[in-house]
Every structure is written in structure tokens, then in C-alpha cells.
Amino acid sequence: MTKEDKTPWYQSRLGFGVIMGGVAAVSAGLAALLVNISERKAEQKVAFVRVVEVGENDTDPEKWGRNWPAQYDSYKKTALKTQTRFGGHAGSEALPEEKIERDPWLKRMFLGYAFSIDYRDRRGHAYMLDDQEQTERLTKPQSGSCLHCHASIMPLYRELGDGDAVVGFEKTYQYSYQDLHKKLKDSGHAHPVSCVDCHDPETMTLRVTRPGFLAGIAALADSDVPLPAIPSIEIWRQNGKKGTYNPNAEATRNEMRSFVCGQCHVEYYCSSKMPLTFPWGKGLKVEQIEEFWDEAKFVDGSKFVDYAHAETGAPILKAQHPEFELWNQGIHARSGVSCADCHMPYIREGAAKISDHWVRSPLLNVNRACQTCHRASESELLARVDSIQSKNYDLLQRGGAAIVQLIDAILEARKRGVSEEGLEGALAMQRKAQWRHRRRKQHGLPRASGSGSHSR
């Protein structure tokens, strides 16, 4: 069976039951794929006994853990320290390593922005609220919008909006981080991402809750950019774009296995100058998001910018963590492979199989995260990933050095009397270069081979 014979994965996933037991020759030496998706998905159905009722205001995962102890136990493991060559975190148990010390060009690139003060390796979900509370970026004024992705905040949104979470959310950008954080503490919902954020408490089906994602994905659906990795949007468009695209009603279960992560692992803008924004109205590609920001305005009508570079004055666009956007462009997404397939693979718990809620690097778990689909040896898969990541890492370092040289050249030109008008082109290039520059150590499998999880 050749590649051409294969029904696109997502189509068969829509039918949910179509067997895809095909063998695909993967060009660059990965061995054959041999997978029966419907079987793999069906394994997931597990009976459970409800010991306690849980509802929309139960943000404490411990309570849910009484009904679903295996998922809760694995969820708690996100507090463990993990490290791979490029993933997880270096540094102590107390605090991950400082990226801006490890790569001084990062600090230079961010001068004029809070990321030049403190910017560390990320780590497991258990730490998301602590790490935000601790970051020295909070020595600069930050907005209440920060909490959208670092806490189980939906009940507080409802409280602020008299029952309407979206209304409550829309108020929060005007709060200072400290004020909204205090309200969160007082409300008793100061937990990191919790069961209720991804699951309907009645049915346990996946759902998305975050207003930023709901608005962003609706704007994306309303655009006309092709989205081969999100078939439910294509269908909603074909049916005449009725109302607003609502992922909780329209999306396939398989899409939801990525959407729940797209609530936070995205590019965004967050400050007191406008509500938290996911910039997807023109598409998810780097040029499309750039165009979105180029045209964006703050609430007061002034032109959107992340910050002015402290040395050159260039109006910088700073990319956050666009895992959802990068994933969307890779071969895995187009083949119907979700974030959860790699980051939450099935594990055996006695007689049952459950989704591993220890969300972490799949490289620590190649057997379950990759070998369910790829029949290559673990060492072969790891070597393949490492070679892609190494190439990307080298490009990242070269890009960093080039941006520093550009900054030096602009300063030198100014010293020699080049006019501000004459510098405009160079400043525009600084903005474009930095926007395209990946600032993290590494993640996923890049575009080098035209493929990958978060390809770019």
C-alpha cells in the first residue's frame, strides 16, 4: 500500500470506525507505521464508579481523584522533575534554569521587556501557578489576564460576570495581576489547570472552557484559510458558517484531544491595554499572525506593539509559545495525530487502559508515545528526533547571533550619524527577524523534513 492509497487520517477519524491498518513507507528511514486507530481509541472506554459528585465549581483535583484515582495519580506526577537534552528543565528542584543566562543573546534581544529580567525553563503543570507567582517579571506591572492559563479560573470569571464567564473574563485585563490573584485566592480556586478545565463534570467528555481559545478559534473558523488539520471547521464552513463556530458542539473527539491544550499553548497578547487575544483571525501561520498583529490596535486606538527595543527602539513582536499553531502545520496534525497521542499516551492500570495525565516530554516515554504508531526501535526514533532537534538548535543559535549583530550594526550606524529615516528598514528587519526566531530551547519535530509535531 502506498502513501497515495491511504485515506487521509482525519477523514477516517471522522467516521470513527474506519480501520486504517495501512503501512506507510516513511521517507527518511523510519520503519513502517502499523496502526489500527479505531481499536486504539476504543481501548480508552473505561468504566468508573462515582464515589462523589463533582460540579463546575470543583476546581480541587483531589475531589475528582476519588472517582478517578488512576488519572489523578498520574496527574500528580507533573510535579516530578524531568529532563531530556532539549526538554523538561535544567536547574534545581526549587527553580528551573534561567534561559537568559544560558543564552545571553536572548537577554539582549528582550531588552526593554520583562523577559530580559527573568525567563526560565518551563516545567510540569503542577508548578504553573507557583512559577507565575514567583517570576520576577511581576516586578513590572502585569495584567490579570495572566491567570487565564495558569489557574483553574472559570468560577472566578463567572463570579465577576454575574454568572457569565465571558463577561467576567472581559473585565479581567483591567485588573492588576496582584488584585486578580488575590480574588482568586479568596475564592478558593487557586489551583493549577484542573480536571474541570478539560472535562465536563457530568459526562467526563472533553470540553474547552477558556474564553481566549473560544474567541480565537471562532475567528479562525470565520476566516477562509485552509485548515486541513481541523476538519470540523471545514465542514462548518461548507454548511454555511451558521452562528459562531463552537468547538464544544462542532469539533470531533480527536480534535478535542488537541484543543484542550490549545487553550494555553499558543501565541497570545496579554496586558492592560487590551483583552487577552489569540491572534488567529487571519490564520495560524507565522506570516498570517504577523499580518494580524501589524493591523491590530490597542483599546485606546494606538498601534499594537509588544515593546520598543531598549537599545534600537525597534517596535518588536514577541512570539510566546505557539505549540498549537506549529503542531497545526505539521504532518502529524494533518494525519490526525493529536497532542494527547504523544503527550498523554495510554497506560495500563490493572485491567484497564487510561490516558496518562503525567503530561511531559514524549521522549521519556517513546514506547507508548511513538511506538504505538511507529515500528522503529526506540533508539532509532530517539536518534531521528535528536538529529532534527540538533539542526534546529544550531539554527536557533545562529539566528540569535545574527540578531545581536543586527542590533550592534544599528547602534553603530546611528553613532555614525545615519538618519532615523535611513534606519527604518533595518529596524523593520529587526522586528521581522525576532518574530521568526524561536526563542525556546527546542520543542517537537521541526519542518526540516517537511514534517513534525510542532513544525516550523
Chain residues 261-290 in contact with ligand HEC, contact rule CB under 6 A: 261-266, 268, 270, 276
> Which of 375, 389, 366, 367 has the alpha carbon at shortest distance from 445?
389
Chain residues 87-106 in contact with ligand HEC, contact rule CB under 6 A: 87-89
Please select the residue that binds ligand HEC; options are 12, 84, 329, 430, rule is CB under 6 A. Answer: 84
Full DSSP string of 279-294: --TT-SSHHHHHHHHH
Angle between helices 165-172 and 211-222 (to 10 degrees): 100
Q: How far is the CB of 284 from ligand HEC (least distance, A)?
A: 11
Residue closer to ligand HEC, measured from CB, 157 or 427: 157
Answer left, alpha or beta for residue 444, where phi above 0 means left and psi between -120 and 50 means alpha: left
Full DSSP string of 299-340: TTSPBP-SEE-TTT--EE------HHHHHHHSHHHHTT--HH
User: Is-contact 413 292, C-beta < 8 A?
Assistant: no
Task: Give the Cα separation of 442 and 70 in Å (integer).
Answer: 31
Residue 363 is a binding residue for ligand HEC (CB under 6 A): yes
Please select the residue that binds ligand HEC; options are 10, 12, 13, 65, rule is CB under 6 A. Answer: 65
Burial grade of 413 (CB within 10 A; 0-12, 13-18, 19 or more): middle
> Which of 239, 235, 231 has the alpha carbon at shortest distance from 7?
231
Residue 142 is a binding residue for ligand HEC (CB under 6 A): yes
Q: Looking at 220-228, 294-302, 339-347, 390-398, which segment touches ligand HEC (CB under 6 A)?
A: 339-347
Residue closer to ligand HEC, measured from CB, 106 or 270: 270
Q: How far is the CB of 382 from ligand HEC (least distance, A)?
A: 8
Residue closer to ligand HEC, measured from CB, 144 or 427: 144
Closest residue to ligand HEC: CB criterion: 87
Chain residues 427-456 in contact with ligand HEC, contact rule CB under 6 A: 440, 442-445, 449-451, 453-454
Please select the residue that binds ligand HEC; options are 82, 187, 288, 390, rule is CB under 6 A. Answer: 82
Q: What is the CA radius of gyration of the chain?
A: 22
Chain residues 157-216 in contact with ligand HEC, contact rule CB under 6 A: 193-195, 197-199, 204, 206, 212
Helix (H) or strand (E) holding 37: helix 37-42
Chain residues 23-52 in contact with ligand HEC, contact rule CB under 6 A: 24, 26-28, 30, 33, 35, 44, 46
Please select the residue that binds ligand HEC; options are 355, 430, 434, 455, rule is CB under 6 A. Answer: 355
Residue 327 is a binding residue for ligand HEC (CB under 6 A): yes
Angle between helices 420-436 and 378-415 (to 10 degrees): 170
